[in-house]
Each structure stands twice: as structure tokens, then as C-alpha cells.
A and B are shown apart, each in its own frame.
Chain A
Amino acid sequence: MNKQSIFESYPRNDASQLIPLLQQVQTVFGFLPDEQMEKVAEHIGIPISRVYGVATFYNQFRLKPLGKYVIRVCRGTACHVKGSLDILRMLESELGIKAGDTTKDLLFSIETVACIGACSIAPVIVINDEYFGGLTPKSVHKLIKQFKDKG
């Protein structure tokens, strides 16, 4: 779907379409740019404050662009008892950013998720769509190096 025709398939002035529409905008742009949120408000016929309220309420929506590699760290209970916090800390110190941020070169973003549901291979992280399980802080170091080399 191209950037112009996002709005076409969503009826105007239908508040129930707000979340699906924001999801569509994010799929196309990778995040929610300010001017797109303005357009959404105009299309749905609601104040932009409400669009912003919804966009900041749900974890899925991002107001900043993401890196090339999005690292999602599972922070489910099973991963927690198997040491996912250490994995997260290691990633943060390796990349020099905190969870929720993106590196300056736009290569990596770190996000935490409640549970990926791959508890059998805890602790687990997902880089873009690829799963990496049974991690230790050391294997994370190697993994990140591989991705850094790939660029």
C-alpha cells in the first residue's frame, strides 16, 4: 500500500476505525509522524488530542522511527526467571541505548515485550522476525557483533 492511499479504505468519521487506521499508518511509515496523526484526526473527525491520547496509550505505537534491526526482548515470567533482565542489560550496554530507544546510526532499536510465547527457549529475543533462544549475556555479545558486521 502506498503512502497516499492509506486512508481510502477507511470510512470517514467512524471513531472505531481509529486504531486500525493508526496501525495501517505505522505499517506504511514505520512509526507515526506528526503530520500523519493530524491527517488521521481530520479523517476520523476527532480532535488531534484524542489521536495522540490513543497513540501514546498503546505499546504498539511509536512516535519515533525505528532502527534497521528491531530487537524485541521478551520480558515474560518464564524468560525473567531464566535471566532475561541480564540479557536486556547486556544489550543496552552493548548498544549504548536504553530499551525503547534507537541507536544514532538507526541500525538498532531495543524494545521489550510482555511475552512472545516461546517459553520453551527462554530467554528469547526476536531480531526483526528471527527468534534467538536459550541466550546468555555472552551469546548476546556474539550475536550483536554478527549484526553489527552485517551492517
Chain B
Amino acid sequence: MKAFLDIIKNDDASIGVPREHFIDCINETYLENIKPKTLNALKAYKAELMLTDLSKPVIIVGMGTCGLANGAQKVFDRFKDELNTRKIDAQIISTGCVGYCAEEVIVDIKLPGRPRISYARVKPKDVPNIIETTLINKEPVRDKVLGVYDEINSQVWDNLPIIDNIPFFKIQQKIVLENCGVIDPENIDQYIVKGGYKGLSRILKSLKAEDVIDEVLKAGLRGRGGGGFPTGQKWKFARQSQGEKKYLICNADEGDPGAFMDRAILEGDPHRVVEGMVIAAYAIGANEGYIYCRAEYPLAIKRLKKTLADAELYGLLGENILNSGFSFKLKIKEGAGAFVCGEETALINSIEGNRGTPRPRPPYPTTEGLWGMPTVINNVETFANVPVIIRKGADWYSSVGTQSSKGTKIFALSGKVNNVGLVEVPMGTTLRQIVYDVGGGIPDGRKFKAVQIGGPSGGALPESVIDTPVDYENLKGIGAMMGSGGLVVMDETTCMVDLAKYFMTFIMSESCGKCIPCREGTKRLYETLDRLTRSYKNENDPEEALLRFQGMVYLERLAKVITTTSLCGLGQTAANPVMSTLRYFRDEYEAHLYERRCPSGVCKELLTYKIDTDKCTGCTICALKCPVDAILGERKKAHYIITDKCTRCGQCMMNCNFNAIYVE
């Protein structure tokens, strides 16, 4: 195994390359005392890493969690087998997620002297054909091509799109995700050769901690975990705080359902996060740090472990980093599955070995955090922004984005949209651009209804406001928040009352129970919503109807109480899904309330199940499955549902093999 460390160490005059110049030496900005032989070896190895000067083909399989879920491991194994049996000399490596989840499994092939070509939706059975056509005949498999990378010779095959020009990637600006899906995340050299650790090397040699903070302040970086607090400001507070020790924590407890940005960064480019953390630690004067990662991300944890070990081996982490006298020890803490631990004070409690309940603020963690010491907690994406700010400068960074929100934001685009995936766009891009240009619109010709932004703490936004440019302030103005970046698209078949109920179920079960407004309030909110979506025997009793109506009136009042009196961010935003759906989709609530019907056909108990007597074959399966014996009929003759008895559980419809059961 070749590595920069070995090449530079193997130099007889290695004493001539002081450790502080290790990164410069690789970047060829420090050439004193380096023997020509070493320099040549370096250059050759770099060309190999950059895939610019290859002696044999390289096959790169996208193996992030979404790739693996789509069968990337099987594709990878098949390639290995085929290469072995055909005795073809090629290198096969894995990479992180390029973000285009809808097209997984994505396999890139780079032939010597040809541009890197991306194949989409590769199945194990496609492998022999790809090997035959591309590796042997040097031709693209045209119906599988996603695009070719924009490199020299990219025109060598006619009529293939450049990957950056296809709609999904066109308006994206990859700054944080530049390496994801491109490099091998488990190879530190690949990160270094892309300019990694250059920023760290620079600040350790030439910048004072205060200057680093100023640079981040000037860049205008704001916390990507949701709140949008200026990162530089946070660092400044911690720097100024007194304490015998200071801690730095990376919040990788990405609990928002429908968000997977942090996972993709950790799986696809973990060294970027580590570099960002070392820079931050230097700035605030911390010598110890933790990465708090959710246990549901086993691959991310595995890669992080290797990342930390490699960075330490290279002297980029641990004692006396790059001979600067600065030390920073970093440990991984596995979360144990609690949404509230994404809240910073709850996270601190969890690291200390307690139940993950939040603490009142102030004192803020920057004055009194982990073990009572000043602590800075930033999100994965925030740290991942830091190296590029240091490397390219605050002026460059702040040229991207809007007046108040700088840089880019990564969104996890999912739900009823054609191109599910990870999207990095400059701040100020509109939601319409994200959903329609990047996301390719709604599948099956259905109509767009809403987009849920910011997870359970955010809000559902209708068509009328999706032309708003996305930044922290604008989103607050329209009743949502940036959150961590989940973007779930919904079409006309999604019921907004059901959605609000879904989020309340989630928050109710994840509420830690410490403060009353959140613990009891969310439960009452849930009950009110649940009542709207259910049918009752005494449905027409005026008193029942009045209670439902009263519930609706109290819903808004209760939501306000929860928002203003809860202890932590989870509670304070818990009512957002209800408030935003009430604001924009009041008509749906009213249909449930007054007309006792669900316009989207989702709330089962408000539907009437019927059997199409022409389609029914009398197989009796529905009658057998019905838990309340509400279905009658003779064998081999059409069956009937007794509506009064029916509990609308939907079992009959799920089990019918002839699509004979429908709802009204």
C-alpha cells in the first residue's frame, strides 16, 4: 500500500522535511531538501490519486448507505468476480454518495486517457455487459450513462452529457459535497490531494486563534444544524470564557426523519469534518473533543474510526499537530437513539452518561458545557464548511449566498419527487428551483401540494410561497425554519392533517418528559388531531361535534403555549407542523371537522370501503382477514361490506388479490 506518509518518510533526507511542512511538501510548496527521486514518486502517486495518469482502468462504486440499500455490495462483488474470471487488470474502489439517490447504484469507470464516465441504476446482471463494452471495447454502454465528467478528452464519445450539465446537478453548487461520491472516503491521501488539510496546515503556521475566528465571522458562516447562530460568534464566546479545559463537540445525531445530509458527509468525506474540527479546536483553545454520532449510522461510525486513526498516524490529530505545539484529541461517542439528543444541552447530558434531557439555558454551553467547562457544539455540515473558508478565504465564501445567509445549504430531497437525493445549492435558491429543476417535479403527473422543510421543527409550505429564496430569515418569515435540511415533497395524495398528526406522534414519543408544556401539550395536540381523523359511533351527536369544534379552537392556543413555555428547542418548535398546516391548509382541517371527510383519501376512518361486485370472485380472503366480521358473502359469489360494522382498518383492501375493494 502506497501512502504519502511512506513516500515522504522514505526520503533519506526525511529529517530535512520538518513535520510542519508535511502538507506543503505534498502540495509542492515546500521543496527544500527533497530529493528528486522523492519528488518524482510524489508526483506519480498524486497523478494516480487524481486519476489523471492511469496505467489500468479504475472502477468506482458508490457505496453510501443509499447505494448499499439499492444493492451496491452485490454490484461491487459481481465486478470483482467478473474481473477475476476474465483476468482483467483493473482497480475497483468504493466511494461515498454522489447524492443522486434515485439513480443508485451509480458506478463510475475511468479508463486511461478517457474521461470518467458515470453509469446509473446498475444491477449485478448489467456488470458483464459493462465490462465487455467499456473495459474491453472502450465504448460507453449508452442506455446506462448518467454523464461524463468534464475533463480533457470529455468529447471523445459523441453525444454524452457532461455530468454537471444534467438537470439534477446543473443549479447545484458543490462546495461541502465536492468530494462526496468522487473520492475514496477511507483513503486520507485522496482527501489531501484534493486540497485537504491545507487550511489546517496554513493556520497552524501563520494564523493566531483570534484571526481564525475573525475569518469565520467575516465569512458569515451560520450554524447548519437549524438555528443559524453565527459560528464565529459562538467560537468567540467560548474563546473568551474562562475554564481550565475547553471542549469541542460535533453534533452528528441527525435525528430528523427524512434528513440524511450529515450521514452523507460522514460517509463520503469524513476527513473534511475532522479538519474543520481541528481548526475550530485551535480557534477556541480546546484540546479534547467528541463526535456524537447516532448509532443508526453504523457505516458512518466505521468510517469515522478509520478517519481518526489515519489522521493521527499522519500527525494531523492528537499530540503536537504538525509540530505546532497544539494538541487535540478526538473521540467518537455513539448515541443511543433519542431525538432530543440533537439539542445541545441534552447531548452534553448524554455524553456525561445521563438521560438525555436538556438543561435550562443560560448558562449556554459556551460558558458552562460538558463537565461544566466551556464547550462549543457545531453540526457536521457546519464543520464541513470550515476548511474551505480557511483555504479559499472569507471573501470568496461570502460571495456565495444571500445578504444574511452565506454559502450553500445541503438539502435531503425526498418524498413525492422524481429525483430523490442530496442537493447542495447556494443560499437564496428558491424552493421551486429545488423541487422542479433539481428534483424533476412530481411523479405520475400528480399535483404539488406542499413541501415540508426542517423536519418536525419546521413547517409545510404550499405552492403560493415556494418562490421565496431560501435563507434563514425568509423561512422564518413564512412559518418554517431551515432545520437541518430535510425537504419532503408532498402531492395531492398526502393529507395535511395526517401529516401534522404524524409529526405529533413523533414528537410526543421523543419528548424527554422533563418539562410539562412539551410532555403534556404535545400529547393533547395529538389527541385533538387524532379525533379529527377518526370516526365515532355517536358521530352525529351535537355534543360530540361541539367537542371537536372546541378542540380545534384550543389547538391554536395550546400550540402557542407550548411554543412560548417549553424548555428546549425541541419543545419550542414542537407545534410548528400544526401551526404551519393550520396556516396554509385550513380548508383541509375544516373538511375533516365539519364535513367529516378526508379530501386526500388518507384518513381511513373517514372513508367508506366498498366491494366492486363485478371484480369480486368470492375468494373469501377479505372475509377471513376482516377482524370484525364486517364482510359477508357466499363462496365464489360477490361479497359485501357492512358499513356500520366496518372499522376501516383497510385489511380487506390490502389483502384483495383482484383490486375489487375501493374507497369512497
A residues near B, CB below 8 A?
A: 15-20, 22-23, 44, 53-54, 57-61, 75-78, 80-82, 86, 89-90, 93, 113-122, 124, 131, 133, 137-138, 141
A89 touches B650 (CB 8 A): yes
B101, closest chain A residue (CB): A120
Task: Indicate whether A16 sits within 8 Å of B352 (C-beta atoms), given known contacts A113-B296, A117-B65.
Answer: yes
A82 touches B356 (CB 8 A): no
7 contacts between A and B (CB under 8 A): A19-B350, A59-B338, A77-B503, A81-B415, A81-B488, A121-B66, A121-B69
B506 touches A121 (CB 8 A): no
Chain B's interface size range is 35 or more
Residues of A within 8 A of B490 (CB): 81
Alpha-carbon distance between A131 and B65 when the two chains are bound, in angstroms? 10
A23 touches B488 (CB 8 A): no
Alpha-carbon distance between A2 and B655 when the two chains are bound, in angstroms? 46
Min Cβ gap A18→B in Å is: 4
Residues of A within 8 A of B455 (CB): 77
A77 touches B258 (CB 8 A): yes
Extra contacts besides A120-B102, A120-B104 (12): CB < 8 Å: A16-B351, A16-B352, A44-B353, A57-B512, A58-B337, A60-B337, A75-B506, A89-B654, A115-B256, A118-B66, A118-B101, A131-B69
Residues of A within 8 A of B339 (CB): 114
Alpha-carbon distance between A73 and B334 when the two chains are bound, in angstroms? 21
B102, closest chain A residue (CB): A120
A22, closest chain B residue (CB): B336
Which of A23, A93, A117: most chain B Cβ within 10 A? A117
Of A57, A61, A93, A137, the contact of B356 (CB 8 Å cutoff): A57
B263 touches A117 (CB 8 A): yes
A23 touches B259 (CB 8 A): no
Alpha-carbon distance between A124 and B654 when the two chains are bound, in angstroms? 17
Residues of A within 8 A of B651 (CB): 89, 93
Task: Indicate whether A60 sits within 8 Å of B336 (C-beta atoms), given known contacts A118-B65, A119-B412, A122-B414.
Answer: yes
A54 touches B354 (CB 8 A): yes
B414 touches A18 (CB 8 A): no
Residues of A within 8 A of B258 (CB): 76-78, 115, 119
A121, closest chain B residue (CB): B69
Residues of A within 8 A of B474 (CB): none
Task: Indicate whether A115 sits within 8 Å of B259 (C-beta atoms), given known contacts A82-B415, A131-B68.
Answer: yes
A81 touches B263 (CB 8 A): no
Residues of B within 8 A of A53 (CB): 355
B356 touches A81 (CB 8 A): no
Within 8 A of A (CB), among B490-528: 490, 494, 499, 502-503, 506, 510, 512
B66 touches A117 (CB 8 A): yes
Of B101, B297, B334, the contact of A20 (CB 8 Å cutoff): B334
B residues near A, CB below 8 A?
A: 65-66, 68-70, 101-102, 104, 255-260, 263, 295-297, 333-339, 350-356, 412, 414-416, 420-421, 452, 455, 486, 488, 490, 494, 499, 502-503, 506, 510, 512, 625, 627, 649-651, 654-655
Min Cβ gap A76→B in Å is: 4
Alpha-carbon distance between A122 and B489 when the two chains are bound, in angstroms? 13
Alpha-carbon distance between A113 and B260 when the two chains are bound, in angstroms? 14
Alpha-carbon distance between A77 and B486 when the two chains are bound, in angstroms? 9
Alpha-carbon distance between A20 and B650 when the two chains are bound, in angstroms? 43
Alpha-carbon distance between A5 and B500 when the two chains are bound, in angstroms? 48
Which of B66, B352, B651: most chain A Cβ within 10 A? B66
Residues of A within 8 A of B655 (CB): 137, 141
Min Cβ gap A13→B in Å is: 11
A114 touches B295 (CB 8 A): no
A132, closest chain B residue (CB): B69
A119 touches B355 (CB 8 A): no
B353 touches A16 (CB 8 A): yes
Alpha-carbon distance between A115 and B69 when the two chains are bound, in angstroms? 13
Min Cβ gap B508→A in Å is: 13
Residues of A within 8 A of B502 (CB): 77, 80
B295 touches A119 (CB 8 A): no
Alpha-carbon distance between A80 and B455 when the two chains are bound, in angstroms? 13
Residues of B within 8 A of A133 (CB): 69-70
B68 touches A86 (CB 8 A): no
Min Cβ gap A59→B in Å is: 4
Task: Indicate whether A81 sits within 8 Å of B66 (C-beta atoms), given known contacts A57-B338, A115-B258, A115-B260.
Answer: no
Alpha-carbon distance between A117 and B334 when the two chains are bound, in angstroms? 17
B421 touches A120 (CB 8 A): yes
Residues of B within 8 A of A137 (CB): 654-655
Alpha-carbon distance between A124 and B356 when the two chains are bound, in angstroms? 28
B654, closest chain A residue (CB): A137
B337 touches A119 (CB 8 A): no
Residues of B within 8 A of A89 (CB): 649-651, 654
Min Cβ gap B490→A in Å is: 5
B420 touches A119 (CB 8 A): yes
Residues of B within 8 A of A119 (CB): 66, 101, 258, 260, 412, 414-415, 420
Residues of B within 8 A of A17 (CB): 353
Ranked nearest first, the 6 interchain pairs of A and B with the lowest CB-CB distance are A120-B101, A119-B414, A59-B337, A58-B336, A117-B260, A77-B258
B336 touches A115 (CB 8 A): no
Residues of B within 8 A of A115 (CB): 255-260, 296
A61 touches B352 (CB 8 A): no
Task: Indicate whether A121 sits within 8 Å of B486 (C-beta atoms), given known contacts A54-B354, A76-B257.
Answer: no
Min Cβ gap B494→A in Å is: 5
Of A15, A57, A138, the contact of B654 (CB 8 Å cutoff): A138
